[in-house]
Amino acid sequence: MTEDTADGGQCPTPERFTQARAAQSMAVLEDYAEMIDDLAQELGEARITDIAARMGVTHPTATKAVARLKREGLAVSRPYRGVFLTEQGAALAARVRMRHRVVVDLLVAVGVPQETAEIDAEGLEHHVSDVTLKAFETFLARR
């Protein structure tokens, strides 16, 4: 979505920025859901301390993110235990992991080194629409 500018160019519309901000906000939830799932698989539970250490954030930052996951119905916590994903949270983590793999596979297919593709995909995976992701999958299937 763009609008024409006085010089004949195009500038983005407010809807485009709104969509980008929403994706950025959701990216945080997705990253934390994926990390909680990883820790639960590895350690049996995800403690705030472990989440903060793996995400490279402070304990209060991780606590705030987990509180948001809980408000969204994506996670629960138990006294004297860790944080656990709900069924909905586990499904979100699985979707994020799948999106990450598709983006990495596409980047590698166009010549990006594996390590760079993994790093770049970490940001891209959250901003790629379902339509674009499907196109990536179709492209990869044809190779």
For 81-119, the pLDDT digits (tens) are 899 999 999 999 999 999 999 999 999 999 999 999 999
Q: Which residue has the higher pLDDT, 64 or 7?
A: 64
Residue 97: the pLDDT is: 94
pLDDT surpassing 80 at residue 1: no
Q: Rounded to 5 degrees, what are φ and ψ at 65? A: -65, -40
End-to-end alpha carbon distance in the chain: 31
CATH at residue 132: 1.10.10.10
Overall number of domains in the chain: 1
Q: Say if 101 falls within a structural domain.
A: yes
CB atoms within 10 A of CB 99: 19
Instruction: Decide if 2 is inside a domain.
Output: no
Question: C-alpha angle 15/16/18, rounded to 5°?
Answer: 60
Provide the residue range defining the domain that includes 116: 12-142
Digit-coded pLDDT (tens) for 24-73: 768 889 999 999 999 999 999 999 999 999 999 999 999 999 999 999 99
Q: Which residue has the higher pLDDT, 42 or 22?
A: 42
pLDDT of residue 103: 96
Residue 3 lies in a domain: no
Is the model's pLDDT at 16 over the cut of 70?
no
Per-residue pLDDT at 8? 58
Residue 130 falls within a domain, yes or no?
yes
Query: How far is it, in rounded angstroms, from Cα 100 to Cα 30?
Result: 11
